[in-house]
Amino acid sequence: MDEKELIRSAIDAMSRAYAPYSGFQVGAALLTKSGEIFQGCNIENAAYTPTNCAERTAFFKAVSEGRRDFAAICIVGGKGGVLTDYTAPCGVCRQVMREFCDPETFRIILAVNEEQYREYRLKDLLPVGFGPENLA
Ligand code: THU
């Protein structure tokens, strides 16, 4: 799976964002270790706090379909769906990643377009995290 395909998928997912309050549209493409992609978009709510981020939409779709082995996620976002800068995952989404992904190897790709992207490992975006093994 090359990065460009994952970036294209995240941009496609962003087109389905439901963001009438912030106007900030986000798309995510979550890659499983077996090569499947689960897309997600942000879904806002008039009561604000029920809003779900694009990343969590993708994770919850995948986990609810029985997938738990993930290799990478690509995230794109911008006001009105115009991509001008990198959109990093919020703290809550980083914690959801921590539940299912290996901090050492899980790749987080932040993209502006197919040519302009940055890649991080979960351990760098969520250092000294709390995870399932803490409760084992
Ligand atoms: N948002 C995401 O979907 N993912 C992030 O990582 C950052 C924020 C959404 C939530 C809300 O709908 C909008 O962006 C503005 O915060």
Q: Output 2 or 73, whichever has higher pLDDT.
A: 73
| Angle at the Cα of 72 from the Cα atoms of 13 and 97, rounded to 5 degrees | 90
Nearest residue (by CA) to ligand 1, atom 2, is 53
Supply the pLDDT for residue 68: 98
Nearest residue (by CA) to ligand 1, atom 10, is 53
Supply the pLDDT for residue 127: 98
Mean pLDDT of 37-63: 99
Pocket of ligand 1 (CB under 6 A): 19, 22, 24, 26, 42, 44, 51, 53-55, 89-90, 93
Cα–ligand 1 centroid distance for 25 (angstroms):
7
What count of residues does the chain have? 136
Strand 117-121 relative to strand 107-111: parallel, antiparallel, unpaired?
antiparallel
pLDDT digits (tens, 9 = 90+) for 7-17: 999 999 999 99
pLDDT digits (tens, 9 = 90+) for 76-126: 999 999 999 999 999 999 999 999 999 999 999 999 999 999 999 999 999
Q: Both tokens of residue 37?
A: 């992609």
Mean pLDDT of the chain: 98
Catalytic residue, from 36, 55, 114, 119: name it.
Answer: 55
55 among known catalytic residues: yes
Q: Are 53 and 89 in contact (CB under 8 A)?
A: yes
Instruction: Determine how many CB atoms are found less than 10 A away from the CB of residue 87.
Output: 22
Quick one: pLDDT band at residue 30, thresholds 50, 70, 90?
Answer: very high
Q: Are 110 and 118 in contact (CB under 8 A)?
A: yes
Instruction: Kindly tell me if the per-residue pLDDT of 1 is higher than 80.
Output: no
Quick one: pLDDT band at residue 69, thresholds 50, 70, 90?
Answer: very high
Q: Are 36 and 70 in contact (CB under 8 A)?
A: no
Cα–ligand 1 centroid distance for 82 (angstroms):
14
Supply the pLDDT for residue 82: 98
